[in-house]
Amino acid sequence: MSGVPSVERRPGDGRDVAPAATLGPRPAPGRSTPAAWIGFRTLLYKEVLRFWKVSFQTVAAPVLTGVLYLLVFGHVLEDRVEAFPGVSYTAFLVPGLVMMSVLQNSFANSSSSLIQSKITGNLVFMLLPPLSHAQFFGAYVIGAIVRGLLVGVGVYAVTLWFAPEPLLDAKAPVWILVFALAGSALLGVLGLIAGIVSDKFDQLAAFQNFIIMPATFLSGVFYSVHGLPSFWQTVSHFNPFFYIVDGFRYGFFAQADVSPWISFGVVLLALAVASAVALGMLARGYKIRH
């Protein structure tokens, strides 16, 4: 009949199949489609909603932890330590605590989300849509950035009361934004790598307890590295978290242990390397598809 595509009968099974020429066009391999971007937005929405639904635990609790650190260390060391000339220890401490909260929560968001999906078995539903590995990567990392920045803003808003004048009068606010975004992105990527590699929560906890936590605490959050012996100063300069905290603090006081441009270059390099590793794992489907 005119206007109706011909039908072929597949031998042996009795089913009628339309010839390949009558099927809809298939997207070229590696090319994004509108459906893929819908999937990307949905996955990103899922990542944000996942932590926002329990914001008392994922946002409010880290803010409280940051305040407790400030109360204890600020009270004990306020009159004993001057990290930067003309900057009180409490004011010095606040940017470090803000960035520490940003880093730890960005890592926790992407890593915990992926490991939960793997353990509960619902990861397969995120692999069914036509998402590219770059879109999968982007949704998880952006979700981690959002949570990290929300926690950081919360810690800053609450601790601002303890040293309002120097913290409100930021000397280089652009650097604050740059290092907040770069730091949260880096830890979001590292969290994604940890979630891919880990098969259970115990393995993920090892990443958190033996890599992320020590690197964060030894990044100059509570002290200036100039106060350390020369050996430990050298060791600190191999820690990319140090450059994140130091550059972020420079935005408030225009004082730092290292030039912010050097810090930015180191952080950017670390982010590029970590992103390449994560994208490579996702492209191969390492511990995700098989």
Q: Which residues contact 179 (CB under 8 A, 6 or more apart)?
A: 99, 244, 247, 248, 251, 263, 264, 267
* CA dist., res. 205 & res. 237, Å (int): 25
Q: If pLDDT is split at 50, 70 and 90, which confidence band does 35 have?
A: low
Q: Is residue 46 scored above 90 in pLDDT? A: yes
Q: If pLDDT is split at 50, 70 and 90, which confidence band does 288 have?
A: confident
* CA dist., res. 179 & res. 263, Å (int): 9
Q: If pLDDT is split at 50, 70 and 90, which confidence band does 32 have?
A: low
- Per-residue pLDDT, averaged over 95-124, amounts to 93
* CA dist., res. 241 & res. 169, Å (int): 25
Could you tell me which residues are beta bridge partners of residue 17? 8
pLDDT tens for 141-160 read: 999 999 999 999 999 999 88
Q: Is residue 9 scored above 90 in pLDDT? A: no
* CA dist., res. 137 & res. 192, Å (int): 8
Cβ contact 253:171 at 8 Å: yes
Q: Is residue 289 scored above 80 in pLDDT? A: no
3-state class percentages of the chain: helix first, strand second, coil last, to nearest 5? 70, 0, 25
The average confidence (pLDDT) of the chain is: 86
Measure Cα distances from 140 to 35, 47, 232, 275 in Å: 18, 7, 35, 12
pTM of the model: 0.84
Check residue 36 and give its pLDDT: 65
Q: If pLDDT is split at 50, 70 and 90, which confidence band does 290 have?
A: low
pLDDT tens for 52-106 read: 999 999 999 999 999 999 988 887 877 777 778 888 888 899 999 999 999 999 9
Q: If pLDDT is split at 50, 70 and 90, which confidence band does 232 have?
A: confident
Report the percentage of the chain scoring pLDDT > 70: 87
pLDDT tens for 181-230 read: 999 999 999 999 999 999 999 999 999 999 999 999 889 899 888 888 88
Check residue 1 and give its pLDDT: 45
